Amino acid sequence: MEAFQRIILVHYHEIGLKGHNRSTFEKRLQKNLEALLVLWPVVTVHRVAGRLVVFLKEGTSFEEACAVTDALVLTPGVARVSCGFKCARDMEVIGRAALDALADAGPFETFKVHGRRNHTDFPVDSMAINRQIGEVLCLAHPDKRVRMKDPDVTVNVEVVQNAAYVYARSVRGIGGLPVGSSGKAMCLLSSGIDSPVALWRTARRGATCVAVTFSGRPQTSDAAEYLVDEICQVLQKNGCVGRLYVVPFGDYQREISLMAPPALRIILYRRLMFRVAQALARKERAGALVTGESLGQVASQTMENIACTNAVVDLPVFRPLIGMDKLEIIGDAQRLGTFEISSQDAPDCCTLFMPRSPETHAKLSVVEEAEAQFPIDEWVEELVASAEPHDYACPSYKPPKSR
């Protein structure tokens, strides 16, 4: 019995709705997948009939193919990933490939066949493909039932120009747009649960993400920095982050805590962070800032306090989590793979010099008056100069040219 070449079909949805620029998004997704799969047993990645086909090396096992599938499902732009076979355009051969594909699908009681003929030079039409391949599967599995609506397994047969693709095991992806198709964003990232999810959701909309984290160093240890690095290593598996800037922030927080009204400390910290993030965004030619704020979750995330923070920047500030509750965010973090990392305790700038009763409804004029005593512009220059860049694997990221 012949062994068919294993393939992975990568389906996309939102890209398929694009107009004349659709090929630009397809090529971007193809380049991303080629870079992300460089260490896997992959021969090549082709664009075929409205999807991408990943051709695996001869002898690739089912377990290895599943591992490739798992590596792709969290990649932005991927709507669904299917594990199957390439075979000749011959109905007898397709039937044997369908049996192999069904065997890979796992336990089932009901099934159906969905045939699709993309080229009319193949003499068997879609309905006949369904009937003939269905008969083959029924003979091999007489104890199983055909169900046309909501079967346990659907065996797909796609006949294209020079081959047929047969697959039954499909896993849903996260959808969205490929990273690198929607500009660049500067993301404020901490070791907490929320901000990694905000970065990931921004990458899912096609943005190339650069991150900045503010360390409590030298007033605290650098333990939180290691957690942020671990988070970035998770994010880079799907090309979601290109660079992380680590900014030692502890001494500046200490200066603010000594002289500013205690209730305003958090707002003053964040206003300084936003100024630094914007300066780094200008350096990176990023078009927006991204934060993990959720409305009303903590003191700094009330409408009034958000307005006071926004007032110091002119770049747009995206807040992908603004309407989500904590359980929804935790669910995303668990799916992404950052929740366990973020659940570890480590001293960071967020917990440094925290007031007992932070202001929840700050007035901008009062905040600006309290801030006027500090050399803010000088501090921003110093903090930007002290930022330590760390690079990660992101196919669409290009470091800024040194001037």
Per-residue pLDDT tens digits for 33-53: 999 998 889 999 998 878 899
Helix (H) / strand (E) element for 284: namely: helix 265-284
User: According to the model, what pLDDT value does residue 13 have?
Assistant: 81
- Model confidence band, residue 220 (pLDDT cutoffs 50, 70, 90): confident
What would the mean pLDDT of 301-317 be, rounded to a whole number? 94
Give residue limits of the domains in the chain: 5-172, 184-391
Percent of the chain with pLDDT over 70: 96
Q: How far apart are CA 57 and CA 351, in angstroms?
A: 50
172 has binding-site annotation: no
Residue 371 in 3-state DSSP? helix
| Count of C-beta atoms within a 10 Å radius of residue 139 | 10
Fold of the 184-391 domain: Rossmann fold (3.40.50)
315 has binding-site annotation: no
What would the mean pLDDT of 65-80 be, rounded to a whole number? 91
* pLDDT of residue 1 exceeding 80: no
Q: How far apart are CA 52 and CA 13, in angstroms?
A: 12
Radius of gyration of the chain from its Cα atoms, rounded to whole angstroms: 26
270 has binding-site annotation: yes
- Model confidence band, residue 347 (pLDDT cutoffs 50, 70, 90): low
- Model confidence band, residue 141 (pLDDT cutoffs 50, 70, 90): very high
Percent of the chain with pLDDT over 90: 78
227 has binding-site annotation: no
5 has binding-site annotation: no
Residue 10: name the closest of 69, 95, 58 by CA: 69
213 has binding-site annotation: yes
145 has binding-site annotation: no
Cross-strand bridge partners of residue 117: 159
Cβ within 8 Å of residue 217, ≥6 positions away: 225, 248, 249, 250
What would the mean pLDDT of 144-156 be, rounded to a whole number? 94
Out of 3.40.50.720, 2.130.10.10, 3.10.450.200, 3.30.2130.30, select the CATH number for domain 5-172.
3.30.2130.30
- Model confidence band, residue 351 (pLDDT cutoffs 50, 70, 90): low
What would the mean pLDDT of 6-28 be, rounded to a whole number? 85
Q: For 163, how many CA atoms within 13 A lie in the half-sphere containing its CB?
A: 14
> What pTM value is reported for the model?
0.89
pLDDT digits (tens, 9 = 90+) for 230-280: 999 999 999 999 999 999 999 999 999 899 999 999 999 999 999 999 999
Tell me the residue ranges of DSSP E strands in 58-163. 78-87, 110-117, 145-146, 153-159
What would the mean pLDDT of 158-174 be, rounded to a whole number? 92
